């Protein structure tokens, strides 16, 4: 995978992967998310992401939304625990239109009072929609349980009470402390010369003054396993079992990814899907995930199961965890798991918007992007013993946290 990098004079970085497609993709990744909020600011990072679409010094909300739509393009954004991303897809001839718009909404937003009030209602509706979906809301409650009292545990959407208190000064203070050129990466995939991309980036982003970061992330400082049951009057039981895991920089991150994929990853042949759904018929949905952050990771296993079968299902889960902790995979099983993971990653890399964002995030956090060949080598280097050692750490029974909706 070929890519080019450059740093502007104000510290903002660029990563670009050439493509011969008529369609291009470009985004701005900002190293600021919900864990960077101060006490009393919960939800403000996500609120800012909404508000930058609501008016700038030269555009109203309609003109922002129409700017890419008018040429058949798209613009969207998301907020996570550790980053905010605004991204676009467009015909390659519209590169400058995209970059100019990204710059305008990021650095020239004015946060009109009426739009702020209206968007608070929109986000409160979003919060309520999550509450109506237990398979979604349980993840937020689980993270609050695992990271209780720490910034990583904050719900990204915030609360209606705090949202209603935010004013323009709160928004501007968060932006001034977090939307800094040195904490940003322009990421691109498209048919444009890198020199031309640098020229456009200098034109539309180079004038932003460099500002030294002043906020420091509060590090993760401890974990206490626990078990909690919340009575939600749902038709089925929803349950998450998990543990803290390896961070983004940990040498066992690939082994952890392989382990999670084996347990209940997207493949229909994952161990728990084959056992709990195909063989026993206990569950309709079983899914694992692994989220590595800058200083800690989180492994989760989600189950949606009939309440009468919850205990039997958990018994099977714990047995499978114990097998992974005590029985190394045979050579054939291990090679099969490695091929599957690499195939999934390779196919995912063929999706340009996904690859564009992944490149930007890797460059933002690590200063580099692994090629598919490098990823293959890292996956192939994982041994059965390393995989079992990782399982011993993460799947240790007395270190698991469980949250159940009944």
Cα separation, 73 vs 394, in Å, equals: 43
Neighbours of 334 (CB within 10 A): 18
Q: State both tokens at 126.
A: 């979003």
Neighbours of 341 (CB within 10 A): 22
In 107-148, which ranges are E strands? Answer: none
Pick the CATH number of 227-405 from 3.30.830.10, 3.30.70.120, 3.40.190.80, 3.40.50.1820: 3.30.830.10
Cα separation, 245 vs 257, in Å, equals: 10
Q: Smallest Cα–Cα separation from 291: which of 303, 281, 304, 301? A: 301
Cα separation, 308 vs 329, in Å, equals: 33
Q: Smallest Cα–Cα separation from 32: which of 14, 47, 17, 10? A: 47
Length of the chain: 406
Confidence (pLDDT) at 285: 94
Domain 4-205 identical in fold to domain 227-405: yes
User: What is the full DSSP assignment across 225-294?
Assistant: --EEEE----SSEEEEEEEEE--TT-TTHHHHHHHHHHHH-SSTTSHHIIIIIIIS--EEEEEEEEEE-S
Cα separation, 211 vs 135, in Å, equals: 41
Confidence (pLDDT) at 161: 96
Cα separation, 86 vs 314, in Å, equals: 40
Q: Is the dihedral of CA 359, 362, 365, 370 positive or negative?
A: negative
Residues 239-297 have pLDDT tens digits of 999 999 999 999 999 999 999 999 999 999 999 999 999 999 999 999 999 999 999 99
Cα separation, 41 vs 128, in Å, equals: 19
Name residues of the chain where pLDDT drops below 70: 1
Three-class DSSP category at 184? strand
Any idea where the domains of the chain sit in the sequence? 4-205, 227-405
Q: Smallest Cα–Cα separation from 307: which of 233, 402, 240? A: 233
Three-class DSSP category at 26? strand
Confidence (pLDDT) at 233: 87
Pick the CATH number of 4-205 from 3.40.50.720, 3.30.830.10, 3.50.50.60, 3.10.20.90: 3.30.830.10
Residues 51-84 have pLDDT tens digits of 999 999 999 999 999 999 999 999 999 999 999 9
Confidence (pLDDT) at 215: 82
CA angle 165, 171, 174 (to 5 degrees): 115
User: What is the full DSSP assignment across 299-361?
Assistant: EEEEEEE-GGGHHHHHHHHHHHHHHHHHSPPPHHHHHHHHHHHHHHHHHHHTSHHHHHHHHHH
Average pLDDT, the chain: 96
Confidence (pLDDT) at 213: 83
Cα separation, 3 vs 112, in Å, equals: 39
* Model pTM score: 0.95
């Amino acid at each position: 995978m070929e890519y080019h990098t450059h740093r502007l004079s104000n510290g903002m970085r660029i990563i670009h992967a050439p493509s011969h497609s008529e369609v291009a993709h470009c985004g701005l990744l900002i190293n600021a998310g919900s864990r960077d909020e101060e006490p009393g600011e919960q939800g403000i990072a996500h609120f800012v992401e909404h508000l930058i679409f609501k008016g700038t010094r030269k555009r109203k909300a309609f003109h922002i939304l129409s700017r890419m739509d008018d040429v058949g393009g798209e613009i969207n954004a998301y907020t996570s625990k550790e980053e905010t991303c605004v991204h676009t897809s467009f015909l390659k001839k519209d590169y400058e239109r995209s970059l100019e718009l990204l710059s305008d909404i990021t650095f020239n937003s004015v946060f009109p009072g009426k739009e702020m009030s209206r968007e608070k209602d929109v986000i409160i509706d979003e919060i309520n929609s999550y509450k109506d979906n237990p398979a979604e809301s349980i993840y937020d409650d689980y993270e609050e349980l695992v990271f209780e009292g720490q910034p990583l545990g904050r719900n990204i959407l915030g609360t209606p009470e705090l949202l209603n208190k935010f004013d323009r000064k709160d928004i501007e203070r968060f932006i001034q402390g977090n939307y800094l050129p040195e904490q940003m990466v322009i990421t691109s995939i498209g048919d444009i010369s890198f020199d031309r991309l640098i020229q456009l980036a200098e034109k539309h982003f180079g004038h932003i003054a460099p500002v030294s970061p002043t906020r420091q992330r509060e590090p993760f400082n401890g974990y206490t396993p626990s078990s909690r049951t919340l009575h939600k009057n749902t038709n089925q039981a929803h349950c998450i079992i998990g543990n803290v895991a390896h961070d983004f920089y940990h040498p066992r991150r690939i082994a952890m990814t392989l382990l999670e994929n084996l347990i209940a990853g997207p493949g229909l042949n994952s161990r728990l899907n084959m056992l709990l759904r195909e063989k026993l018929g206990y569950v309709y949905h079983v899914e694992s995930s692994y989220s590595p952050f800058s200083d800690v990771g989180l492994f989760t296993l989600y189950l949606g199961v009939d309440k009468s079968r919850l205990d039997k299902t958990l018994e099977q889960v714990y047995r499978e965890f114990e097998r992974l902790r005590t029985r190394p995979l045979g050579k054939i099983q291990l090679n099969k798991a490695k091929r599957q993971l690499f195939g999934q990653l390779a196919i995912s890399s063929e999706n340009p918007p996904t690859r564009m964002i992944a490149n930007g995030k890797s460059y933002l956090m690590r200063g580099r992007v692994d090629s598919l060949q490098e990823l293959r080598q890292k996956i192939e280097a994982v041994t059965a013993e390393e995989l079992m050692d990782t399982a011993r750490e993460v799947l240790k029974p007395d270190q698991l946290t469980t949250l159940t909706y009944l």
